[in-house]
Structure formats: structure tokens, C-alpha cells
Amino acid sequence: MTTRLSPSEAWQRLREGNARFVSGESLHPNQDASRRNALVNEQHPFAVIFGCADSRLAAEIIFDLGLGDAFVVRTAGQVIDDAVLGSLEYSIAVLGTPLIVVLGHDSCGAVTATKNAVETGEMPAGYIRDLVERITPSVLSAMREDKTEVNDMMVEHVKETARRLVDSSRVISDAVDDSSVAVLGVAYRLEEGRAELVSGFGAL
């Protein structure tokens, strides 16, 4: 029988894992054969991490997690689409996950491309344009507050993305309202390896 964590307890586990990663003392938990075998017929992740697809942002590593610990969804620039919303709703409604983390990082290429497009008026080709269009509101919001650095824009985009999840999904908003789920915006610093809380919806 797996005990369901509260949103606060789930965030505490992520914070502790990240602290181990930062200090170089990762435990690499739940990565052995017995854990693999135990998960054949069921899973009970305690967090869903919706992060950027950047190769430097491997959620299981930076939070020192193992098999079955986190339900991970990744897109470039952590942009939301219907598949993302469906995946996050599944993690809550079916898997009973108590915490959604929106994970962005500094020096984000997707945010940088959007900043460049806004400043020059030149949109990239192909489906990269779609990414840029989805990130543009966050960049414009940062600019209105005189935040012109890419990393400041990234933080704004994390905040806006967390807010959009709650606004866009009734499943998520209802879970936040009844305190069974929290949605947190987290910014990851590549050089330090530290994940910092920048916004939140729901009780912790």
C-alpha cells in the first residue's frame, strides 16, 4: 500500500533531492532491479514535473529520483499544448499525483529565440515558430516590467505557464481548489544545479 503524500511533503522530497544533487551527494534511489520489478503493474509517482526538453534539465537527476518517483512531461520551453494538458490531467485524475512542478531553466534557447523574434520582428521557420508564438506573451509581460534579460524572462515564463495550467484545466484548478494538488513554478540554475521556487498555486 502506497501512502499518498501531501503537496507539501512531495515538494519537500524534491527539495531534499535537489539539495543532495547540488552538494554532490546524490543517493540515486529506486534505481535497482527490485524497484523495477515492483513497478511492473502499477505506479504511484509523488510529483509530475512539466519541464523544458533541454538536455541539461533531466528532472530525475537534478531531483535525485528513481523509477516510479516522478511523472515527467517535457517540451522545448515547457510550452503547453493539448497533449501536455492531457498528460498532466492524467497524472492527477488517474495516478493521484499531488504536485505539479513547472520547471524552467536559465539560458533557455526557446526563450532566447522568442526574445530575439520580439526584438527583431523576424519569426523563425517551421514549427519553431509555434514555440515562439506560445512563449511570446511571457516575454512581452517581462518587457512591460522592464525585465530585459533572458533569465528574467524565463522566470516570468515559468510563472505564466503555471498560471495557464490552472486557468486552462478544470481538472487541475479543481484539484488546487480542494487542496489535493499544488502547482509550483520552479527555476533551475544551470551552474549551481539549484532549483528555486518562483511561484505557486495551492496550499503547501
Amino acid residing at 172: I
In residues, how long is the chain? Answer: 204
Residue 160 CA to residue 178 CA, distance in Å, equals 22
Residue 189 CA to residue 128 CA, distance in Å, equals 24
Candidates 1.20.1250.20, 3.40.1050.10, 3.40.50.620, 3.30.365.10; CATH matching 7-201: 3.40.1050.10
Per-position pLDDT tens, the chain of length 204: 567 899 999 999 999 999 999 999 999 999 999 999 999 999 999 999 999 999 999 999 999 999 999 999 999 999 999 999 999 999 999 999 999 999 999 999 999 999 999 999 999 999 999 999 999 999 999 999 999 999 999 999 999 999 999 999 999 999 999 999 999 999 999 999 999 999 999 988
Domain ranges of the chain: 7-201
The tens digit of pLDDT for each residue in 5-41 reads: 999 999 999 999 999 999 999 999 999 999 999 999 9
Q: Are 107 and 54 in contact (CB under 8 A)?
A: no
Q: What is the pLDDT of residue 2?
A: 62
Written in H, E and C, the secondary structure of the chain is CCCCCCHHHHHHHHHHHHHHHHHCCCCCCCCCHHHHHHCCCCCCCCEEEEEECCCCCCHHHHCCCCCCCEEEEEEHHHCCCHHHHHHHHHHHHCCCCCEEEEEEECCCHHHHHHHHHHHHCCCCCCCHHHHHHHHHHHHHHHHHCCCCCHHHHHHHHHHHHHHHHHHHCHHHHHHHHCCCCEEEEEEEECCCCEEEEEEEECCC
Q: What is the pLDDT of residue 3?
A: 74
The pTM of this model reads: 0.95
Please name the residue that has the C-alpha cell 478544470: 170
